[in-house]
Structure 1
């Protein structure tokens, strides 16, 4: 027995000695996020307002692109939640549903990255403790709540997600009274209108209104299956099908279902996972029942600005926060407050829509030399599952995706001819804008601009 025990001890000791060397020599995974640098409080258009109690920080990984938005309060506040749709992803919402009349919420975190992005909410909670805002004692435990959107799939060629590092950086960069509208934070790679094949770029939107001492704010990350609808019923953003009649409205699309989704449509196959995650904040004191009903009323109203809304493919969640800084204004009853905030929320929905990329058109360009075309050729790696092979054949460029997925309109089973633009740029004709740039040696940039996807030549 002693001999056996001695042998086991020797084996364990040897294993312990080998472990550090093995770990040090282990290769870095090809899609590791270890070297990504957070970009903080950038992008979109700044909405400014005066509310010291509410600080906001945004962070993104431009390589995704994807991001996170952190709402931090000056002290613990009262919260409620209303969950709609068929696929919500949340942290700590069940606790809010207990409706305790006790301020508990320190922060609300909205994030991209689908299920992987949920770690951003707990990361903000630990940052609150690590930075001394909460001690960890039973009466001072940090509570952050959060929700995610699905920003993967055909819209980008990698699976980078908002992680703990990004969330804590955004939390520590939070400042009062500034929110980024458009393609920023959690809305960095949002998309709307897939129900009608629109595939329009979206983002996050905020709006603020003050009446006397009453302050109200609405924030939303619009990644909806439905289309964003202007107040006059027109479509706020969509890559329209060429067969649609001129001046088509959301009402036209809805009234002509299911035909409006069929004729002439070229939608991307595969599951659709879309979500609108939102937050309303009011500075008046409210009890849990009032705050919960406010959440329901405002969330219901969002069906005006997004059509259709709260489908099986959506994971819609709305948080309602009362900071409890003032008593309820005289003469303002709760249904009126709900109607008022509902109107502000529609503004927030519309403010989420960024400027859409223009559809490129053929232009007359000088022939590109064989020498230059040769420098464009090669295999460009976007991630472990998407590589684009570019070839020069008879003075024309062709692209073909290799790996598990196609690259937008660049298929895996056939070569796609690239049409020349100018200055090292090409495009692929179709319903959805698709531009390819070879301007930087050794890189292929698809859709240059704020939604760029960059592949490195191997």
Structure 2
């Protein structure tokens, strides 16, 4: 998904290029140094028996951001269905021509918005560099891909998946293992922004086998809408004060547009429209004709509107690739294509649910000051997170304050005025609110915001 508009208005290509140039030219801060790829990370795994599909993930923890690569051991037939109003893709026009020759090598999903499209062509280059493909007209690598938007206010830097990360993920790919949750291309995905939920999301997968027929669904969920469970509840959301406890998607939609605004209490709105970003892949081993594979893509993509609500909005970039590896050629063992679509749709809903990681638990502020004034004063300084974000920490008596002094805010720490930091422990402080912010001073001149899987680290100037 790309972000076409935000509170600051549209960002044109020239401005985006200028920001990227500034990022590359700026002196390296802690979060801007050349990052090291982290490959195939994650403890929650989908494991399945299908040697024809190899999967590799790569992440830059300093972003965080990442890439997910699907490599097929034989050239496969592919189709694509694009729904969102802000897609970012590679080689979809070629797939739409509907040739019946299997030519696909890889599918690549990445963060980084349009900048992340480099990952797709990088994998094609790796296929050539590794001698798997070459330069003859009938041996050109075909890599297709799609991206999600994981920049902007959700992190304090502009690191993006690049050639180095994508090729490392491709070369680390292995069969039968797919990391679930906030890993790979879903490393900094979020859902529910339309309603202010801003819940952490990720990538999910599911596998089905009926006799010899295999169907797998993979998805990176970065939707404007909310993930909906099979009983109609919102899977993850940072709800506003006064929201119903057992929040349902139906209630959010019925209350729209009031449910987008502070102070909504769950009351329905008579004039609410119902309408969502997600990049996904459905794979079957059953040999299909191009028209059948296209219909599978359409059927499964349409079914995703049950799990993501709203779906395919103007601000989403929903793209689904459908792939037939063609391993199963025995017509007597095949399933009707309608059945394949139903099975694929159910697997995709399970994959979407599997994408939701455990949400971080907010810290609890202490009832009284934890550190004496001299210890608080030792924490003061300017902490640089990126060329765009610096946080100035000051101490007054037994209170600690923070203010963003760079070009951008740092989550709940704004630029206009100081924010008081509530003590939690000798190292941790917090800013309460709908999106609670935890700050950790690690004793080595580093300030870590939201320590844990989604942390952002800054270094104090002069240390």
TM-score of the pair, normalised by structure 2: 0.89
Q: Does 1:308 align with 2:310?
A: yes
Q: Which aligned pairs between 1:93-172 and structure 2 lie closer than 5 A?
A: 93-172=92-171
For residue 337 of structure 2, what is the aligned residue in structure 1?
334
Cα deviation code 1:176-205 (max 9, x no counterpart): 000000010000000000011000000000
Q: Residues 402 and 28 (structure 1 numbering): CA distance in 2 closer, same or farther, change over 3 Å?
A: closer
Q: Residues 27 and 240 (structure 1 numbering): CA distance in 2 closer, same or farther, change over 3 Å?
A: closer
Q: Residues 29 and 146 (structure 1 numbering): CA distance in 2 closer, same or farther, change over 3 Å?
A: farther
Q: Secondary structure at the match of 1:403?
A: coil
Q: Does 1:413 align with 2:416?
A: yes
Q: Secondary structure at the match of 2:405?
A: strand
Q: Larger deviation: 332-341 or 344-353?
A: 332-341
Contact 1:206 1:220 (C-alpha < 8 Å) held by counterparts: yes
For residue 385 of structure 1, what is the aligned residue in structure 2?
388
| Offset of residue 338 of structure 1 | 0.2
Q: Secondary structure at the match of 1:357?
A: coil
How many residues align? The count is 425
* Cα root mean square deviation, aligned: 1.6
Contact 1:44 1:184 (C-alpha < 8 Å) held by counterparts: no
Supply the distance in 2 between the matched residues of 1:79 and 1:161 (Cα, whole angstroms).
Answer: 27
| Offset of residue 362 of structure 1 | 2.3
| Offset of residue 61 of structure 1 | 0.2
Contact 1:365 1:421 (C-alpha < 8 Å) held by counterparts: no
Supply the distance in 2 between the matched residues of 1:105 and 1:329 (Cα, whole angstroms).
Answer: 26
Contact 1:44 1:182 (C-alpha < 8 Å) held by counterparts: no
For residue 443 of structure 1, what is the aligned residue in structure 2?
446
Supply the distance in 2 between the matched residues of 1:375 and 1:133 (Cα, whole angstroms).
Answer: 57
| Offset of residue 34 of structure 1 | 6.7
Unaligned runs of 5+ in 2: 1-23, 265-275
Q: Secondary structure at the match of 1:398?
A: strand
TM-score of the pair, normalised by structure 1: 0.90
Q: Residues 76 and 252 (structure 1 numbering): CA distance in 2 closer, same or farther, change over 3 Å?
A: same
Cα deviation code 1:35-86 (max 9, x no counterpart): 2100000025111111110000000000000000000010211000000110
Q: Secondary structure at the match of 2:124?
A: helix
| Offset of residue 365 of structure 1 | 5.5
Contact 1:357 1:433 (C-alpha < 8 Å) held by counterparts: no
Q: Secondary structure at the match of 2:411?
A: coil
Q: Residues 361 and 224 (structure 1 numbering): CA distance in 2 closer, same or farther, change over 3 Å?
A: same
| Offset of residue 112 of structure 1 | 0.1
Supply the distance in 1 between the matched residues of 2:455 and 2:260 (Cα, whole angstroms).
Answer: 28
Decide which of 315, 320, 323 is 2:322's aligned counterpart. Answer: 320
| Offset of residue 212 of structure 1 | 1.3
Q: Residues 408 and 317 (structure 1 numbering): CA distance in 2 closer, same or farther, change over 3 Å?
A: same
Decide which of 397, 400, 405 is 1:402's aligned counterpart. Answer: 405
Supply the distance in 2 between the matched residues of 1:400 and 1:134 (Cα, whole angstroms).
Answer: 53
Q: Residues 159 and 141 (structure 1 numbering): CA distance in 2 closer, same or farther, change over 3 Å?
A: same
Decide which of 402, 407, 432 is 1:429's aligned counterpart. Answer: 432
Q: Secondary structure at the match of 2:401?
A: strand
Rg larger in structure: 1
Q: Which aligned pairs between 1:19-418 and structure 2 lie closer than 5 A?
A: 29-30=27-28, 35-264=34-263, 275-327=277-329, 328=331, 330=333, 332-364=335-367, 367-418=370-421
